[in-house]
Structure 1
């Protein structure tokens, strides 16, 4: 399963990330919730979510792209700290933040792509509980993830890219690890309007970035 390689030495740009657990210390979840830009920002602002990336999954064709998606779905994939989140808690965020009651076209369908049979069983129980609680039919599919294909760079941290002075500075700082940056995930969420005022103040106080970049972030929040 493709993913962004992370440097592990403390001289790497990722050493700036306060929450930068290594991939081996995290667990992974993949969700389809409509257009993937929104869920990327939604989860990126959450404490305990270490990394986010968007991509394509759930289909049968190989190497899909945005303009040749075939039978795949836009999804967000997150790495999270299992000491701060359970899979059930992540699912509650999913249910509360997209339309799970209406069938959508394949590109934007509602789907939970579990990474193992245990997670699949949790997702199926959660879906059944939602149906019981609401009295509505749940259109969300629950499947096992076969392959995740990372989307093109211009889709990664899309909300943050609408503030070029910030995104360009972070891309220069992180290089190939931009998508894997916890800081980029947080700022992507904050720019989209997610996250608390306390979260924003705490992060901005730790960033070693040029004043013009910090000022632009503050202006947008």
Structure 2
């Protein structure tokens, strides 16, 4: 196979009608167990990739066995031409219990708290505006909007857990009460914006 030299490739891409590379953007959300957050966002049109990891803790290079203060979170890569950050915020809020400050569902403790990690001022402004709207809807919101710090990718067996271990995943999600609680909190708005909700 022949490859074009960089200069030739650049010239080709500059020609009229050449398709530009798809723009990508990133969002980071903590919503309890990162297996479930991955699954939910993977069902959103325009989401290109989801990665489980740790953020907001007190040590460098946290692991599942050692991540003091870290949130379990998911880094989302998306196509802004297909889904906006505001739409992702809507999905986030309606797939968690934002009134719970101590964790999510059966998972308790700092690792399982909810949070929005803003990567820039625009995201922070949008996140705070959406939080205010949710507070009007629910009366109280325990989810903070935080400035994003270093994101550490979780161990390989956590990535796409719901795909690799579908039976164990579904049992965990049901037994933990995630879907039932989200539906109780949000009613008809539960899992808004997610295709194949409660998966």
* Same fold by TM-score greater than 0.5: yes
Q: Does the residue aligned with 1:52 lie in a helix, a strand or coil?
A: strand
The offset of 1:59, in angstroms, is 1.8
1:70-219 matches, within 5 Å, as 70-104=68-102, 105-134=109-138, 136-162=139-165, 195-196=195-196
Deviations 1:107-133 (A, max 9, x none): 000100011111011101110111112
From 42, 45, 70, the counterpart of 1:44: 42
- TM-score with structure 2 setting the length: 0.69
Rg (Cα) greater in structure: 2
The offset of 1:60, in angstroms, is 2.7
Cα RMSD of the aligned pairs, angstroms, is 2.1
- TM-score with structure 1 setting the length: 0.62
Distance 2:59 2:69 in 1: 7
The offset of 1:137, in angstroms, is 1.3
Distance 1:163 1:66 in 2: 21
Distance 2:195 2:135 in 1: 29
Runs of 4 or more consecutive aligned structure 1 residues displaced over 6 Å after TM superposition:
none
Q: Which residue of 2 aligns with 1:9?
A: none
